[in-house]
Amino acid sequence: MTDIFSSSDLPPPMSIAAVERDCGIPKDTLRIWERRYGFPAPLRDANDERLYPADQVARLRLLRRLIAAGHRPGKVVALPADELLDLIRGLERPPARRARAGADSAVIPERSADAAEVLGALAAHDAERLRSHLAGLLLREGLGGFAGRVGPGLIHAVGAAWARGALEIHQEHLFTDQFTGVLRNAIGAVAATGGPQMPPRVLLTTLPGEPHGLGLLMAEAMFALEGCACVSLGVQTPVRDIALAARAHRADVLALSFSEAIGAGLARAGLADLRALAPADTEIWAGGACPGLRDQPGVHRLRDLAGIAGDVARWRQSAAAQN
């Protein structure tokens, strides 16, 4: 790839705060990696502050993905970029945190024909083609199939393509926007034509630090299809406000979405806080690709989006049994 910035010389180095935002690696961690492993090795500006060149930032993004997939920082942080790429390529569960919960192997076909078409539209920067393909998929699969099965696969494929450098960030943004548009339209249609709404009342949101809204939207679609009364607060609601909202809306279920982006520690801590603050009779359902999302007391782990229908049915049975 020839550098399109050759005219304006080079992509500008980033400050430590910018890298934290961009890669999701805390400042403290960046500094301690530098001290312990010798990478990253940022330049310094006139005021002795770190300046991370673009290639090191790219390497950090690879690292984040590897570590999220189970590699240990000490083993991989100092590795050169090409070895990291090899590891990424081999990322169909090489170390993968010794199989923990038994059934973790939801088969996601990363390279289906649909994914190829999506990636092709992105490569061509063709928003219209992307949109119409997504809309077509929605029609072909139905909202349940689209949000429950195809969507997660596409998101995974796009994320993987980005991680191996096949997509730029702006292409991922374009995908996210088009996907959001298609899904929101469909959800709007379900809400407009839907029959009477039934319990459980579901409140959807993500914790602070989790900016990814697609999972939330797909979950909303699944709940809406089951006839649940859904209220979504969008992303990044403070824990205290989630608890307040749960009371205000008399929510039966609090549905939280966790992408790979959020730190495992943040997720656990936030869930624990939330469980303490939310009404005891409100169930907390947590789902998503976040690797650190293990069983937590008082929190129901959603296996995958397609399983939401079953979870709702189970809730209704148990609610009926209590009355």
Q: Give contact residues for its own copies (rule: CB under 8 A).
A: 4-5, 8, 11-12, 14, 17-18, 21-24, 54, 125, 127, 131, 168-171, 173-174, 176-177, 180-181, 184-185, 187-188, 191, 205, 207-209, 211, 231-234, 236-245, 247-249, 266, 269-270, 273, 276-277
Residues 64-123 that bind DNA (CB under 7 A): 67, 72-75, 95, 97-98
Binding residue for DNA, selected from 17, 43, 81, 191, defined by CB under 7 A: 17
Output Rg (C-alpha) for the chain, integer angstroms.
Answer: 21
Pairing of strands 50-51, 43-44: antiparallel
**Residue 33 touching DNA (CB under 7 A):** yes
User: 81 by DSSP, 3-state: which?
Assistant: helix
Binding partner of 94, given its own copies, DNA, none, CB within 5-8 angstroms per partner class:
none
CA nearest neighbour of 257 among 273, 237, 241, 272: 237
Measured from the CB atom, the residue of 38 and 211 that comes closer to its own copies is 211
Binding partner of 49, given its own copies, DNA, none, CB within 5-8 angstroms per partner class:
DNA
Report the Cα 239 to chain-centroid distance in Å.
Answer: 19
CB of 299 to DNA, least distance (A): 15
Binding partner of 174, given DNA, its own copies, none, CB within 5-8 angstroms per partner class:
its own copies
CB of 238 to its own copies, least distance (A): 5
The rounded distance, in Å, linking the Cα atoms of 271 and 282 is 13
Residues 215-274 that bind DNA (CB under 7 A): 263-265, 268
At 46, list the tokens.
Answer: 């006139």
Binding partner of 180, given its own copies, DNA, none, CB within 5-8 angstroms per partner class:
its own copies
The rounded distance, in Å, linking the Cα atoms of 285 and 300 is 5
Report the Cα 58 to chain-centroid distance in Å.
Answer: 19
Which long-range CB contacts under 8 A does 23-26 form with residues at least 24 apart? 23/57, 23/60, 23/61, 23/64, 24/64, 24/261, 24/262, 24/263, 25/60, 25/63, 25/64
Element (H, E) at 205: strand 198-205
Binding residue for DNA, selected from 48, 82, 92, 128, defined by CB under 7 A: 48
Binding partner of 108, given DNA, its own copies, none, CB within 5-8 angstroms per partner class:
none
CA nearest neighbour of 289 among 305, 265, 268, 306: 305
Q: Which residues bind DNA (CB under 7 A)?
A: 15-17, 26-29, 31-33, 35-36, 47-50, 67, 72-75, 95, 97-98, 263-265, 268, 292
